[in-house]
Structure 1
Amino acid sequence: MLYNKVIKDYMDDWASRSAKAECIRFKRLSQRGMMLSCTDVQINEVIAEVAEIMEFRCTDISLSDNEVKVCFYMSFAKGDMMGEVPDVLVTDIPRIAEKFRNKCAVLYTGAVFGAGFEHSAVPRPNSATVIHDVIGGMFFMACRTLKKGVYYAGFGGCSIKAKALASGGYLPVMTYEDALFMVKFQRERPDELFCFDNTYGGRLADLHKALFTCLDEFDRICRANGIKYFLGGGSLLGAVRHGGMIPWDDDMDVMMLRDDYRRFLEVVGSEIDDEKFFFQSAETDSDYHSIFTKIRLNGTVFTTRFSSRFGSSHQGIFLDIFVHDKTADIKPLQKLHVFATLFARSMVFHKWEGTPMHFYGKAKLLCRLATWYIKRTDMKKLERIQERVVTFFDRFPTHSLYDGTGEHLRHGAFPARWLKKSAEMKFGDRSYPVPAGYDKYLRYSYGDYMTLIPASLRKAGHDIVRFDLGEYGR
């Protein structure tokens, strides 16, 4: 049943989030292992998956006196699990928490509700709303030597005397609001792929329609002038994996080769319907300095926290246009080209942002010199330097490309033949061009691209401060 796949999706999410929680140090468990007493099948499966990810032993049979002993004693447990005093006791029963207060470290969860758990009910403000915070809190305590007493993992008030686990450094892996939405989604739409489609005031589907309006205008210009392009980034991934936009995505990407992009620049000014759209580049918008260009939708607002600092620039809903350029065929030169590109892009960005160069905490002396230089150099010159660096190898007959204007720049070079031929693929209601070698390109960009990210991360990525669809939301 699809329902079972949805539950497995949540369970994989719980395991992934717990294993990656920054506040949990698994070194102690890797050295000692963990003995677990728990009768709940789903919790056991999640803990076993975390143990596999983080490479430590987890068993319900004592192998030595060295394991960290953890006992789940929940209101939904079957049988008596209190044969001995564990190192960590996890319970949602107040009288059990009180009984063991002076015997071990007790994790009192409050009421436990989780999407997919057959014993879950309606969440309350003082609950551990999803199993993330039960399992994450348990691992946090098992990986540390905590004093005896009762600790609380949940949201809101606690019905018994307890120390907040957060006060000891535990970082909840989800917000209460997100947890509530996950539980509600699973209950109301148990057969659907989960994502946070409540973003943008519940207008995410309308945002997608507006983005297709931008894409269709770009596609019209390119087809009318015989210019080759491909769906790129998350849009290409969405076409291949979902047959449309990634359900939680909030922007759209296309990509071109440099020669095709130059031809596009020659015609876009006269071809674009400037009543509905705006082609945004450093040349058309004096407050815009990204290395990639955009097609914006007039009459809409999509203002991020960063772009809000440049109020005179166009802030409409947008399509991103990325360019792939040639790079060297020799690996040492490829690495040098990537470094130079990162540095040139960083100079432009820090000039735009008005901050000192820091370059990911590296090359500090070089950054101080660059900071001195960019303060005394106008933006146009820095952008010319950036373009010369990115396009440096376009004059040579190389057979390698790199993502010089995009977010996969650090992935280095890939064979130019991957973008030599195109094919049509359904994306939404119609078909658009994709690379014929899309599988290899997507693996270069995303690795195992058919595997979904954890459910609780499926959320729109832009930090929006103002959003308005205008006439496109009617």
Structure 2
Amino acid sequence: MEKNTKKIQQLEFEALTTIIKILEKNDLKYYLRGGSVMGAVKYKGFIPWDDDMDIALPREDYEKFIKLFSSDWSDKFWMASYRNGDNIHAYFPRILVKEEYRKAQGLPTNNHLGFSIIDILPIDGVPSTSLGRKIFIMHVAILRALGAVWTLDVKDTIMIHKPRRQRAIKFIKMLGVQHFYSQNDIYKKLEKVYSKKNTSSKWIGTITGSLFDKEIFPKEVFGEGVLKEFEGIKVRVPSQFDSYLKQLYGENYANEEPSDKKSHLEDKRLGEK
């Protein structure tokens, strides 16, 4: 596992540097997200056991990203998106290793499309009032649960929902609600909800991410971003990265390691390994 993780991290770094060059050439703003921010701040690179990366872009730049990376931009990597008809089972696009290169590198698969290495998430505005955010969060939770029903039947794709949410999703499937909508119908509904408010809102975030409502912050937490060292290069992270990481991972994130060291090479579904 450790050997594979190192190889995957090398591949992710190659993809990351390629993507950043394209983003900078096209004046698109990005931030590392989630555990990738932790890696930059705490380890000046990858979290030792982690095998995926996350990038977030403000909605306007996110839309440009999807158009830009829907073309053939690399001989080693490609972007999968439900908007392009890819059977990705995720609202947000993912960067994957092209199959020929994956096989040449002797890498396993971690979903039915091959090997996913970088998630691309939008940063969207959310309601500024506490009540507005509660209603927004509830709306998103329902839509995400409806969209995740189809993912339960795909055994070789990444499941980002925690066990309690997985149980709720299984209950929805048992009710048969999914027969009235397609997964892409739900993603289109999410699109409207997420993009309703722009990032000039006082509160913004990546609520479509795995940590759900924990990923909503006052706008100044992201700010213009600051550059941190990551495996010898400079990458952008949220301006108030300490507040960002404490909200996501707890007050002691800098001194503690998680008991669950996640790996996307292992299935996170209920009762499965």
Shorter-chain TM-score range: 0.7 to 0.9
Larger RCO, structures 1/2 (Cα 8 Å, 6+ apart): 2
- Which one has the largest radius of gyration? 1
What is the alpha-carbon distance in structure 1 between the residues aligned to residue 260 and residue 181 of structure 2? Answer: 41
What is the alpha-carbon distance in structure 2 between the residues aligned to residue 333 and residue 417 of structure 1? Answer: 19
Counting matched residue pairs gives 251
2:146 corresponds to which residue? 347
How far does the alpha carbon of each residue in 1:152-175 deviate from its partner, in whole angstroms, 9 at most, with x for none? xxxxxxxxxxxxxxxxxxxxxxxx
What is the alpha-carbon distance in structure 2 between the residues aligned to residue 285 and residue 364 of structure 1? Answer: 25
| Equivalent of residue 303 in structure 1, options 109, 112, 118 | 109
Establish whether residue 246 from structure 1 lines up as the match of residue 47 from structure 2. Answer: yes
1:450 corresponds to which residue? 254
What is the alpha-carbon distance in structure 1 between the residues aligned to residue 175 and residue 266 of structure 2? Answer: 29
Is 1:348–1:386's contact at 8 Å kept on the other side of the alignment?
Answer: no
4+ residue segments displaced more than 4 Å: 358-365
1:267 corresponds to which residue? 68
2:239 corresponds to which residue? 436
Is 1:248–1:458's contact at 8 Å kept on the other side of the alignment?
Answer: no
1:324 corresponds to which residue? 123
How far does the alpha carbon of each residue in 1:375-423 deviate from its partner, in whole angstroms, 9 at most, with x for none? 13223222211212222333x9531013222122232631112222122
* Structure 2 segments unaligned to the other structure (5+ residues): 155-163, 268-273
1:405 corresponds to which residue? 208
> What SS does the corresponding residue of 1:246 show, helix, strand or coil?
coil
What is the alpha-carbon distance in structure 2 between the residues aligned to residue 412 and residue 229 of structure 1? Answer: 16
**Structure 1 pair 460–378 and aligned structure 2 pair: CA distance change class (3 A):** closer
Deviation at 1:270, TM superposition (A): 3.8
Establish whether residue 219 from structure 1 lines up as the match of residue 20 from structure 2. Answer: yes
1:165 corresponds to which residue? none
What is the alpha-carbon distance in structure 2 between the residues aligned to residue 447 and residue 239 of structure 1? Answer: 17
What is the alpha-carbon distance in structure 2 between the residues aligned to residue 269 and residue 363 of structure 1? Answer: 31
TM-score by length of 1: 0.49
How far does the alpha carbon of each residue in 1:36-58 deviate from its partner, in whole angstroms, 9 at most, with x for none? xxxxxxxxxxxxxxxxxxxxxxx
* Structure 1 segments unaligned to the other structure (5+ residues): 1-198, 466-474
What is the alpha-carbon distance in structure 2 between the residues aligned to residue 398 and residue 232 of structure 1? Answer: 19
The letter for the 1-side match of 2:184 is: K
**Structure 1 pair 361–271 and aligned structure 2 pair: CA distance change class (3 A):** closer
Deviation at 1:287, TM superposition (A): 1.8
Is 1:221–1:271's contact at 8 Å kept on the other side of the alignment?
Answer: no
The letter for the 2-side match of 1:352 is: T
> What SS does the corresponding residue of 1:393 show, helix, strand or coil?
coil
Is 1:295–1:319's contact at 8 Å kept on the other side of the alignment?
Answer: yes
Trace 1:60-209 onto structure 2 (pairs within 5 A): 199-200=1-2, 202-209=3-10
Is 1:279–1:293's contact at 8 Å kept on the other side of the alignment?
Answer: yes
Deviation at 1:460, TM superposition (A): 4.5
Trace 1:54-65 onto structure 2 (pairs within 5 A): none
Establish whether residue 427 from structure 1 lines up as the match of residue 249 from structure 2. Answer: no
> What SS does the corresponding residue of 1:321 show, helix, strand or coil?
strand
How far does the alpha carbon of each residue in 1:362-381 deviate from its partner, in whole angstroms, 9 at most, with x for none? 6999x47x944421322322
Establish whether residue 282 from structure 1 lines up as the match of residue 85 from structure 2. Answer: no
